[in-house]
Amino acid sequence: MNRFVDLSPEVQEALANGKPVVALESTIISHGMPYPKNVETAVAVENVIRENGAVPATIAIIGGRIKVGLTPDELEYFGKKGLAITKTSRRDIPVIVGKGEDGATTVSATMIIAAMAGIGVFATGGIGGVHRGAETTMDISADLDEFAQTPVLVVCAGAKAILDLNLTMEYLETKGVPVFGYQTDDLPAFYSRKSGIKVPNRADSPEELAKVWNTKRELGLAGGMLVTNPIPEQYSMDSDKINAAIDEAIEAMNQAGIKGKEATPFLLDKVQKLTGGESLESNIQLVLNNAKLAAQIAANL
Ligand code: PSU
Ligand code: MN
């Protein structure tokens, strides 16, 4: 392990004994949900992973130390500080560590750190992707290039329609990333179970996913794999309602001239405000659902 990384005792013990471990990101805590729901959710997600036979490893940078596994006090500190923490993707890691600051790791940064620690499975809510209008803005999340090079399987609930889902799938194809739908042929669209876009592969059990993931690694093929897991039926939102909110949020973003790394947090916050508590509750439930599947996959490796 490099000298910048601290493993929590629980994670260290699990890795040393070959127990299943699931990585979790921290931008979803600081930038994805409001306090105190963010901390409550982070704790609940960790518990779901434990209940399903794996050890959770929430990843963040605190005072320049790369943490793999946070204490309850660290989670609380992180959730409370929220947007004041620097959103940290691949390019930001050396800056935050070098300056000794706090960093909330996105999907790309969390994958990199998970791989450093030897963790191969990671659960989150939504991934970054190709933004609508990317043909002129070139706003393509660093998450997508990470899938092409870093060996971590990521379970998400598909991608939010703040993104161009077709272009996101095209980009992942170009980058050679296997994408699975879990018990579905239709790419999940985060708040709703279906996007109307066909997902390239389907798997119906954690065993199947573990088998393909092991095969990819044994073949020596670089990069990760993406598993898209539909939100449970009872929490899925009406797609017309959510899409109207997303359109309004994108309009507001363009009006305000927001771009770069601020784009996604702005859109997440705006959509949450426009749809009230309903979208927040859906968001929490889909993360719990993804944590469960990720733990089951990790247990089958
Ligand atoms: N999408 C969500 N919730 C999130 C994110 C994306 O539905 O919390 C976060 C993740 O940390 C993801 C990051 O890695 O936003 C992507 O940011 P960007 O689009 O700037 O690459
Ligand atoms: Mn971006």
Given the residues 67, 87, 146, 160, select the one marked as catalytic.
160
DSSP 198: B
Rounded Cα–Cα distance for residues 89 and 104 (Å): 8
| Of 139 and 276, more confident | 139
pLDDT at position 30: 96
pLDDT (average), residues 214-243: 96
CA 166 and chain centroid, separation: 19
Which whole-number Å values give the CA distances from 234 to 34, 163, 237, 242, 286, in the listed order? 23, 24, 9, 15, 11
Tens-place pLDDT, residues 103-126: 999 999 999 999 999 999 999 999
How far is the CA of 109 from the CAs of 2, 20, 154, 224, 258, in angstroms? Answer: 15, 21, 13, 13, 22
- Which one of 24, 25, 26, 28 would you pick to mutate in the ligand 1 pocket, going by the greatest count of ligand atoms within 8 A of its CB? 28
Contacts 24+ apart (CB under 8 A), 262-270: 263/131, 263/139, 264/31, 264/128, 264/141, 264/162, 265/31, 265/32, 265/83, 265/87, 267/160, 267/162, 268/31, 268/32, 268/160, 268/162, 270/245
Is the CB of residue 143 below 6 angstroms from any atom belonging to ligand 1? yes
Q: What is the pLDDT of residue 169?
A: 98
Q: What is the pLDDT of residues 153-211, one digit of tens each?
A: 999 999 998 999 999 999 999 999 999 999 999 999 999 999 999 999 999 999 999 99
Q: Judge contact between 188 and 150, C-beta under 8 A.
A: no
Tell me whether the omega of the peptide bond preceding residue 232 falls within 30 degrees of 0, making it cis: no
pLDDT grade, residue 1 (50/70/90)?
Answer: confident
**Average pLDDT over the chain, rounded to an integer:** 97
Question: Is residue 80 annotated as a catalytic residue, yes or no?
Answer: no
User: Helices 206-218 and 277-299: crossing angle, nearest 10°?
Assistant: 60
Burial of 51 per CB tally in 10 Å (0-12, 13-18, 19+): exposed
The preferred substitution site among 107, 138, 231 for testing ligand 1, maximizing ligand atoms within 8 Å of CB, is 107
Please indicate whether residue 27, judged by its CB atom, sits closer than 6 Å to ligand 1.
yes
Atom of ligand 1 nearest to the CA of 141: 21
* pLDDT higher than 90, residue 27: yes
Could you tell me if the CB of 107 is within 6 A of ligand 1?
yes
Per-residue model confidence (pLDDT) at position 301 = 95
Reply yes or no on whether the pLDDT at 73 is more than 90. Answer: yes
Predicted local distance difference test score (pLDDT) of residue 161 = 87
Q: Please answer whether residues 26 and 271 qualify as being in contact, where contact means their C-beta atoms are separated by less than 8 angstroms.
A: no
* Rounded-to-10 torsion of CA 181, 183, 187, 188: -110
| CA 142 / ligand 2 centre spacing (Å) | 7
**What is the CA(161)–ligand 1 centre distance, in A?**
12
Answering whether pTM is above 0.95, one says: yes
| pLDDT beyond 90 at 276 | no
Percent of the chain scoring above 70 in pLDDT: 100
120 CA from centroid of ligand 1 (Å): 20
pLDDT at 14: 98
Pocket test for ligand 1, best of 31, 78, 90, 106 (most atoms within 8 A of CB): 106
The predicted model gives 238-266 an average pLDDT of: 94
Query: For residue 277, what pLDDT is reported?
Result: 80
Could you count the other beta carbons within 10 Å of the beta carbon of residue 126?
A: 25
Q: For ligand 2, a single-atom ion, which residues have Cβ within 5 Å?
A: 139
Q: Confirm whether 292 is a catalytic residue.
A: no
